[in-house]
Amino acid sequence: AESHVDRSILGPSAFIDTNVRGTMTLLEVAREFGVERFLQVSTDEVYGSLGASGKFTESTHISPNSPYSASKAGADMLARSWWKTFNVQTVITRCSNNYGPFQFPEKFIPLMIANALQDKKLPIYGDGMYVRDWIYVDDHCEAIDAVLYKGEIGEVYNIGGGNEVANIEMAKLILSKLGKPESLLEFVKDRPGHDRRYAMDSSKIEVELGWKPKKSFAEGIDLTVNWYLNNESWWKRIISGEYRNYYKLQYEQR
């Protein structure tokens, strides 16, 4: 899937081709070959934005605000319709923001870590008070496994880490862990359609399937920071070439 909101603003057509048409292609293959179960991995962003309180539940109205989230909402609806119309055995998961090893450096946490390690400015959209619910990648994988094998066909399951952190606070935490000054923080022009807050109610998957996140945020963020510290050769290869052009367009020319 195409999964980065910023890139969907720069080039939405790739997200429609991959996330919508790509999902339809997979659903058609599943129908043709009688696949036992089709799991559609989606995102909390299909629900839109929350105010200062409350959480998304599986019954929250879908209200996407970016080309990325709209493409994922469309894919979710295709999965549901292939179940209802063609009896393809679909189930949908919607997860909050992931973090952990091997995450592409355009994503928020690895971007903050990589820039800090290079003593580059850490770009923060708007006032930095955009809140995300963070989940360690291993916990997300275990949730997917639980839904794949135990989830009820046709159902949606929310997956969240229960760790709400504002972007500016996350950036400051990373700087602190790396021993870098907060003077590296740089507020940049906000992106359009920026959702203010996400928070997931994961009680359904916890009660029905017995899943809960195992990794505390304190442990997960330490593991993540240390991984990027110890694997500079991996992410430095990625941030060369095309990524530099994207970065300049996305942050330096705002």
| Cα–Cα separations (whole angstroms), residue 15 to 1, 67, 73, 106, 226 | 8, 7, 12, 16, 32
- What does the alpha-carbon distance between residue 65 and residue 48 come to, in Å, rounded to a whole number? 6
Percent of the chain's residues with pLDDT above 90: 94
Asked if residues 92 and 79 have their Cβ atoms less than 8 Å apart, the reply is yes
Task: Please say if the pLDDT value at position 229 is more than 70.
Answer: yes
Q: Judge: domain 5-252, CATH 3.40.980.10.
A: no
Extract the tokens encoding 65.
């605000």
Angle, CA 91 vertex, CA 90 and CA 95 arms, to 5°: 145
Give the contacts of 129 (CB within 8 A, at least 6 positions apart): 166, 167, 168, 196
Asked whether the predicted pLDDT for residue 253 surpasses 80, the reply is: no
What number is the average pLDDT over the span 183-210?
98
DSSP 162-213: S-EEEHHHHHHHHHHHHT--GGGEEEEPPPTT---B--B--HHHHHHH----
| Res 246: pLDDT | 84
Q: Which tens digits make up the pLDDT trace of 54-88?
A: 999 999 999 999 999 999 999 999 999 999 999 99
| Residue 13: CA count within 13 A, CB half-sphere | 0
What integer is the mean pLDDT of 157-169?
99
Name the residues annotated as catalytic: 44-45, 68
* Structural domain boundaries in the chain: 5-252
Higher-confidence residue: 244 or 16? 16
Residue indicated by tokens 């290079």: 118
What's the confidence (pLDDT) of residue 236?
Answer: 95
Q: What percent of the chain has pLDDT over 70?
A: 100
- β-pair type (131-136, 164-166): antiparallel
The mean per-residue pLDDT over the stretch 37-48 comes to 99
Tens of pLDDT, residues 124-144: 999 999 999 999 999 999 999
